[in-house]
Structure 1
């Protein structure tokens, strides 16, 4: 049976019309299909492949770990070098109040752990999230998703969830002494790469401190250098109580994590014991890939270079059909006049061997989240394709 037939017949789909490119191999900023076409990747596995595809240092780390051992014991029981070195290096790059990290299999699992930890630490149950928020699709993460259309058929969800409007300071009174935690994306991803404004995150943190609630920041997309800092919150002179990460930290392998103070994280050890458990979290091969990724990002100029590359994108992406370019660093969203135009851009660019993608809730946006390792020449090449496609769309509509 052909792979294409098997893909549609036996592999569960997430939409009626997947892009269905059949991948042969990938290297650097490019993905190659089975017909021999070479696609420039402006999506990086939806922000997951921070160092591009098959980065040599990540591959080397994986192979070295493969020669030592794979899974040996459930998370947290055995001392495994790659996981210890990864969490130690993370602590060195974070504030003294973010020192202990729990490794998980994905970002959404890390969100679940963060929500549980906030409830355990405060003894409260109410969680406040943002409208148009996206934190994953497991039941807890789905409960704090601020988009009813994606949630309604799965109700009832977790109770005692309230929603505020991101960047609306008038909503801060919703945060009270009943609140266990406020969970926010540092930059709202699915909503269209909405940036916090007017010291909004600081004001949320101050309100949380006033009422004894915890602030959880979801850095699953901005994290690991994509915005010009290792984590997006580092632009805003605040520190969350619980930090959640995923996607770009694994070098292309599945991983997530949540980080908090030692005192908070130790609450998961007792009363009850096994307060949060996972079999494969901290997998040694994946931890080795994440460690190599973190070292490469923090020991090179990749983080500051994202801001230089952002400027290049903004200088090139000028067109009557580009209404705005939102975001920071290499977490960018190109806003078009309509959902139909955004879809045309994605599909026509794929025909011209450039990979773009959509955002979850903002249907007029086109995602541009290339590997941090993308070159300036590759940026110019991809933007030229985008402009060529936009010109054709404009000609057709005038």
Structure 2
């Protein structure tokens, strides 16, 4: 066992880590599958997966083998050179997104970086020079770097860093608001198919179809932030694929490499011609280690049918939550294995704490929502175990 214990690390964390980070409640040491263990050996069922990141759970053999083998060959060469894993991943993303031959892929290191690239893409859609507006949604989240933060529709996150990059307007998540806001001066509409950080909040029925039609009508880009919804989590490779539309660009990160940092911007059709050489780049982006691991993760997801399985497993979770019959449950939201519980009272932090005490990891993104995003490999038995502990935690918080 590690010499570090749960009683000794708190002060070290507070003395060494930036105060922008909220002090964590436990210190984890290892994981396997859908379970993790803290430094004192206590076991937890992980139904957050690093915030929808650990697609294959912890220490999956495919990930371990890819990291080990590639690290022994080539880890980094900069973007002055191509590598086989980089090209393989770009072609794989073009295939699974449906971007096809006209698609293009830009690699970064995180979701925020992918959204920064998307922001620049929007700026390049100038038209005759009059396209200066970018639309995003209220209560959205796109990251904490300055461009991504400007897109984020949470004023409390932005106010300490004003003035923001100009040109972004946040609108209500209604078709009526979109129709009123969009015109020929809009360069892009940027949105999450499901608002993850808001508590897994679905968009209104028909919103994505209306967004696609209106952006096409006015020559604006439709850019979808699929960082949390992508890579099979919603029961499709990407959430937009379940809504019968094709965007102009999507951003990807989180689950793409099962825990290894990587992000990507994928463009479709005419949007692929907007960037030219030298307009954007990243020293680490698309390095052979990150792209090799992403290929291993996506290959495992594809060959084992985890995308299709996410739909049925998500239905089992949502039905099970409803069957608990807790007066705290107002609604169950989301698609596939991205699930949100809307609560009747602001007790989400108490439920989160009670669950953790009982060996279950979930998330309270706000006081009235619980977010659930287990690894795609989660079993029916683990879902049943989760439901038992969640019921106990809700009863304790009621």
| TM-score clears 0.5 | yes
Given the superposition, is the C-alpha separation of residues 96 and 255 from structure 1 closer, same or farther in structure 2, using an over 3 Å criterion? closer
TM-score, L = length of structure 1: 0.93
The residue that corresponds to 1:302 in the other structure is 306
The residue that corresponds to 1:185 in the other structure is 192
In the TM superposition, 1:226-265 aligns within 5 A as 226-261=233-268, 264-265=271-272
C-alpha separation between the residues in 1 aligned to 2:267 and 2:45?
Answer: 38
| Residue 375 (structure 1) aligned with residue 382 (structure 2) | no
- DSSP 3-state at the match of 1:323: strand
The residue that corresponds to 1:8 in the other structure is 14
C-alpha separation between the residues in 1 aligned to 2:363 and 2:35?
Answer: 15
The residue that corresponds to 1:347 in the other structure is 353
**1:141-186 deviations in Å (ceiling 9; x for gaps):** 1111111111111000111111221133343231111111000101
| Residue 217 (structure 1) aligned with residue 217 (structure 2) | no
Task: Kindly indicate whether the alpha-carbon contact (under 8 Å) linking 2:247 and 2:268 is maintained by their aligned counterparts in 1.
Answer: no
Q: What is the deviation of 1:121?
A: 3.2
The residue that corresponds to 2:28 in the other structure is 23
| Residue 129 (structure 1) aligned with residue 133 (structure 2) | no
Given the superposition, is the C-alpha separation of residues 113 and 332 from structure 1 closer, same or farther in structure 2, using an over 3 Å criterion? same
The residue that corresponds to 2:86 in the other structure is 83
C-alpha separation between the residues in 1 aligned to 2:273 and 2:217?
Answer: 24
Task: Kindly indicate whether the alpha-carbon contact (under 8 Å) linking 2:333 and 2:341 is maintained by their aligned counterparts in 1.
Answer: yes
One of 50, 71, 77 as aligned partner of 1:72: 77
In the TM superposition, 1:265-304 aligns within 5 A as 265-269=272-276, 273-304=277-308
Q: What is the deviation of 1:383?
A: 1.1
- DSSP 3-state at the match of 1:248: helix
Task: Kindly indicate whether the alpha-carbon contact (under 8 Å) linking 1:332 and 1:368 is maintained by their aligned counterparts in 2.
Answer: yes
**1:98-155 deviations in Å (ceiling 9; x for gaps):** 6211011100111010111122133432110001110001111111111111111100
C-alpha separation between the residues in 2 aligned to 1:173 and 1:205?
Answer: 15
Q: What is the deviation of 1:15?
A: 4.8
- DSSP 3-state at the match of 2:223: strand
- DSSP 3-state at the match of 2:202: coil
In the TM superposition, 1:378-389 aligns within 5 A as 378-389=382-393
- DSSP 3-state at the match of 1:244: strand
C-alpha separation between the residues in 1 aligned to 2:270 and 2:244?
Answer: 23
One of 41, 49, 59 as aligned partner of 2:54: 49
Given the superposition, is the C-alpha separation of residues 261 and 393 from structure 1 closer, same or farther in structure 2, using an over 3 Å criterion? closer
C-alpha separation between the residues in 2 aligned to 1:199 and 1:343?
Answer: 33
5+ residue gaps, structure 2, are: none
Q: What is the deviation of 1:96?
A: 4.1
| Residue 62 (structure 1) aligned with residue 67 (structure 2) | yes
C-alpha separation between the residues in 2 aligned to 1:197 and 1:104?
Answer: 31
RMSD of Structure 2 on Structure 1 (CA): 1.7
One of 203, 207, 210 as aligned partner of 1:200: 207
Q: Which moved more, 1:157-166 or 1:314-323?
A: 314-323
The residue that corresponds to 2:45 in the other structure is 40
Q: What is the deviation of 1:266?
A: 4.5
Task: Kindly indicate whether the alpha-carbon contact (under 8 Å) linking 1:216 and 1:241 is maintained by their aligned counterparts in 2.
Answer: yes
C-alpha separation between the residues in 1 aligned to 2:99 and 2:262?
Answer: 23
Aligned length: 385
